[in-house]
């Protein structure tokens, strides 16, 4: 994450405890703008990638808003990776 911040990405606002991340505009082509937001919490990573944003919108803000909306629902303690997923199934 340090590398992305050094290259101009901005740090995500606090979205959830233990999470840290960044967001940035990306170059797609001359006609379309895009943005990405990445949130890392423990061993989990969530990426919101707007490949072709709508004209006239702030694509970075849209990526951050989507991250704020979905991250708390997807990156819960229950969804955290376990060391041995098959052990829970009795295998």
pLDDT tens profile 52-71: 888 888 999 999 999 999 99
Q: Is 10 a member of any domain?
A: yes
Q: Is 42 a member of any domain?
A: yes
pLDDT of residue 76: 78
Residue 68 CB contacts under 8 Å (≥ 6 apart), including other chains: 13, 15
Domain count, the chain: 1
For 11-63, the pLDDT digits (tens) are: 999 999 999 999 999 876 667 788 999 999 988 999 999 988 888 889 999 99
Q: Is 85 a member of any domain?
A: no
Range of the structural domain that residue 69 is part of: 2-75
Q: Is 89 a member of any domain?
A: no
Burial class of residue 10, CB neighbours in 10 A (0-12, 13-18, 19+)? middle
Q: Is 81 a member of any domain?
A: no
DSSP 8-state code for residue 56? T
pTM of the model: 0.78
Q: Is 46 a member of any domain?
A: yes
Q: Is 36 a member of any domain?
A: yes
């Amino acid at each position: 994450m340090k590398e992305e911040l050094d290259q101009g990405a901005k740090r995500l606002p606090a979205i959830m405890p233990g999470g840290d991340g960044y967001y940035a505009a990306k170059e797609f082509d001359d006609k379309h703008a895009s943005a990405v937001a990445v949130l890392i919490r423990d061993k989990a990573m969530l990426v919101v990638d707007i490949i072709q944003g709508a004209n006239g919108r702030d694509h970075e803000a849209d990526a951050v808003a989507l991250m704020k909306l979905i991250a708390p629902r997807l990156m819960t303690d229950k969804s955290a990776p376990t060391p041995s997923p098959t052990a829970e199934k009795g295998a």
